[in-house]
Amino acid sequence: MSRTSLVGTPQRRIMMGVLLVDTIAAGAFYPLTFLYLRLGTDLPVTRIGLVLTGGGLVALLLNPLAGSIADRWGAQRTIVAANACCGVGYLGLVDIHGWPQLVVAVAFITLSQRLYWVGWPVFVAEQAAEGETLDHWFAVVNAFKSGALGLGAALAAVALSVGDVGTLRAILLCAVAASFLSAVVFARLRPAPSSPGKDGADEGSGDGAGASDAAGAGWRAVLRDRPYTAMTAAHTALTFAWLLPGVALPVYLVDALDLPPWVPSAAFAMNTVLPVLFQTTVSRALVPLRRTRAVLIGAGFFVLAFALFAGAHDAPPAFALLCTAAGMVLFSLGEMSAGPAAQALSMDAAPVPLRGRYSSVFQTSWTVSNVAGPAVVGALLGWNGLALWLVLGLLVGAGGLGFVACEKRFPARVLRTGPNGGDR
């Protein structure tokens, strides 16, 4: 398959274009939500924090609902609903008149995120035509989204350097417009044609029956799929690695290492640029391996990165900067190795009629780390900076080994990264 085949049709070019606009808008405003609410409202900071944290906890309860919606409505309609809910939620933040309005707006944003992250992998899986691997799809889409998020964050930084609350509100209005535009365009896309090559995925991960049996069993089939739930548990441990760029590293670099405040921003910029440049190259290099082994390699890169960050502790500033740069390269390699392989495995291991429910179970791993992660990172940093990297390394290492431990329970077709891959 050629590198440009994912945008080889007008439908796909439109899809990727809308993804670009929507993701740039999300990258520009979402990281600034708390700052906007603190500067643009009279609400106490503690109450804002409680509402936003409560939204994260509610997300755990909304995952099953999002999975059922994706199976019943289809992935395309689920993404349309996600973008529409996001637009409504962001619109509710434009002019806030009290905390009840904030609660409602955050509820819509939280629901939109669950619908989006459950529906998006299913939508990508439906777009892959016969002969195209999910690994390549997820690799290209992830690189695309990484670059768009980085561009959005850069635009926001530039805007904030010359603006104030009014600038934040303008960015928010752009995000509102992008969300509604995405909903309209996605609603007008033609559904992806069913591919004969997709029928094999109806078998599930190994313990389930055929597609009709799976559809009838619903959530019972998902919860009885022990290989899949074990893989999700391993992925939950692995997702704690992704706390590094936005949660763990900024505080560690500035507070523990006493580096200048621009260093975390530079590290984040590296993390967004490297996948754009090298994601497809890394994915092609991993084709001969089983997906579980690709995830293990990614976990190994993560652990090496954590070791470098730990080595920067109490080191001279120049050496700490060198460790930070090398650590971000290794961390990005970990993302590029483990991310697409784990996502592709999660979709190929799911029966097609239940992909929404299976996706919601798999996405729960991200919700757990996003909710628990900041508290874990804060507690460990408050105790001992080196303890943070030890605990994260143990979690991520266990996650990578957990994927390998599950591989004997999955059919060979699920473990392959391509027609001739997955032999090692």
- The answer to whether 1-193 and 203-416 have equal CATH topology is yes
| pLDDT digits 0-9 by tens, 88-99 | 999 999 988 888
Q: Where are the alpha helices (DSSP H) in 97-133?
A: 99-127
| pLDDT digits 0-9 by tens, 330-360 | 999 999 999 999 999 999 999 988 999 999 9
- Once rounded to an integer, what is the mean pLDDT over residues 165-183? 89
Return the closest-CA partner of residue 228 out of 349, 338, 75, 51.
349
Say what the pLDDT of residue 294 is.
96
For residue 204, pLDDT over 80 is answered with: no
Say what the pLDDT of residue 291 is.
95
For residue 312, pLDDT over 70 is answered with: yes
Residue 133 structure tokens: 């691997």
Is 87 or 142 the better-scoring residue by pLDDT?
A: 87
Strand blocks (E) in 109-258: none
Q: Domain boundaries in the chain?
A: 1-193, 203-416
- Tokens 């529409």 sit at which residue? 84
Residue 95 — φ and ψ, nearest 5°?
-140, 90
CB 129 within 8 A of CB 137: no
Instruction: Give me the chain's average pLDDT, please.
Output: 84
Q: How many beta carbons lie within 10 A of that of residue 20, not counting itself?
A: 17
Instruction: Report the CATH number of the 203-416 domain.
Output: 1.20.1250.20
- Tokens 């109490």 sit at which residue? 314
For residue 214, pLDDT over 60 is answered with: no
What secondary structure letter does DSSP report for 241?
A: G
CA distance 345 to 146: 21
CA distance 322 to 94: 42
CA distance 156 to 9: 32
- Tokens 């995952």 sit at which residue? 63
The three-state (H, E, C) secondary structure of 299-350, written as one string: HHHHHHHHHHHHHCCCCCHHHHHHHHHHHHHHHHHHHHHHHHHHHHHHHHCC
- Mention every residue, 6+ apart, whose C-beta is less than 8 A from residue 204: 214, 221, 225, 228, 349, 350, 351, 354
| pLDDT digits 0-9 by tens, 7-65 | 567 777 888 888 888 888 877 777 777 778 877 778 887 888 788 778 777 877 888 89
Q: How many beta carbons lie within 10 A of that of residue 282, not counting itself?
A: 23
Residue 75 structure tokens: 């992935």
Give the least confident one: 212-226, 300-314, 329-343, 370-384: 212-226
Residue 330 — φ and ψ, nearest 5°?
-65, -40
For residue 420, pLDDT over 70 is answered with: no
For residue 81, pLDDT over 90 is answered with: yes
Give the pLDDT band of residue 208 (cuts 50, 70, 90): very low
Q: How many beta carbons lie within 10 A of that of residue 147, not counting itself?
A: 20
CA distance 271 to 329: 8
Say what the pLDDT of residue 423 is.
58
CA distance 302 to 306: 6
Question: What is the DSSP code string of 201-230?
Answer: GGGTTSSS--HHHHHHHTHHHHHH-HHHHH
- Once rounded to an integer, what is the mean pLDDT over residues 364-379? 87
Give the pLDDT band of residue 124 (cuts 50, 70, 90): confident
pTM (predicted TM-score): 0.85
Give the pLDDT band of residue 417 (cuts 50, 70, 90): low
**Burial category of 191 from C-beta neighbours within 10 Å (exposed 0-12, middle 13-18, buried 19 and up):** exposed
Q: What is the distance in angstroms between the CA of the first residue and the CA of the last residue of the chain? A: 22
Residue 351 structure tokens: 């029966």
Give the pLDDT band of residue 163 (cuts 50, 70, 90): low
CA distance 117 to 101: 25
* Helix and strand counts by DSSP (H, E) for the chain: 17, 0
Instruction: Report the CATH number of the 1-193 domain.
Output: 1.20.1250.20
